Amino acid sequence: MSLEITLQGARGKLTALRSGNPDGPKLLALHGWLDNAASFIPLLPHLAAFDVVALDLPGHGGSAHRMPGYDYAFVDWIHDALDALDALGWSHANLLGHSMGGVIATMVAASVPERVERLALIEALGPIAGKADEAAAQLRRAVIARRALNADKTPRVIANIELAVDARLAVSDMTREAARLIVTRNLRAVDGGFAWRSDPRLTLPSHVRTDESFIRSWVRAIEAPTLAIAADPAPPYFSAQTRDARVAELRDGQVEVIAGGHHLHMEQADVIAALLCPFLLKARPHPASPSSARTP
């Protein structure tokens, strides 16, 4: 069983699911893009030894949207995760991230290494890289999309949950059971049915994508032991070659490749938990004061 909790972040309310042993190792779980805390529900029974908080990132699930006129700037995700740790009173914790949540966890571990005990990533290790010769086109696409975003606040009404699940499956390769968990948490009741709770601004393209050399510098700054779990086949935006090159930059890293889809932590929870638990339960001496990250 999980408990719904609310935390206060600098940019508004953060909702989360809390589960497990209150006296166990602290574990903050960060979900993927357009998912929510429910994506970790299949794993929670396997993580009973931990004090798990699965966060709804801003704009997802029950968490607050960004204020009108603002975007989801990449750096702010780092502070959202740190706000959650602060609100929980956790000076340091283990981090578990899937996809976009894994990107955020990567960046938290790189930027404030003293707050991360161990880092477990599923289908992620740093952000998606960009190419210098595509930067102008990327910027133009993002600005045009941002200016053209429909200002109409009338929600699209979805007659029932199964139609919402169908819509998610049309754009995601996952089981219907996994999609239903995510979709159910991402709906709110309105007259005539349901509407999405997620912020439409989340679908806008990024204004800037970082060069691969910068990303590898960030990865080298991670001090926490790191486990990267990847699906086979790998997605085109995070190829096996890119993944392995980044893993090689880690001070203390390992990778496990599992046959399956992008949401393998939902569809093969027992397999993923068998990798996660032994890794996360290994004790790591924690420094008494903030450590100084090595300058890459």
Q: Give which of 163, 164, 203, 158 is closest to 183, Cα–Cα.
A: 164
CA distance 17 to 4: 5
How far is Cα 56 from Cα 35, in angstroms, rounded to an integer? 8
In three-state secondary structure terms, 263 is: coil
Select which of 2, 19, 99, 198 is catalytic: 99
Residue labelled with tokens 């975007």: 71
Q: Please list, in sequence order, all residues whose beta carbon lies within 8 angstroms of the beta carbon of residue 177, skipping any fewer than 6 positions away.
A: none
Q: What is the C-alpha to C-alpha distance for residues 244 and 125, in angstroms, rounded to an integer?
A: 10
All residues at 6 or more sequence positions from 4 whose CB lies less than 8 Å from its CB, including other chains: 15, 16, 17, 18, 62
Is 292 noted as a catalytic residue in this protein? no
The catalytic site residues sit at: 99
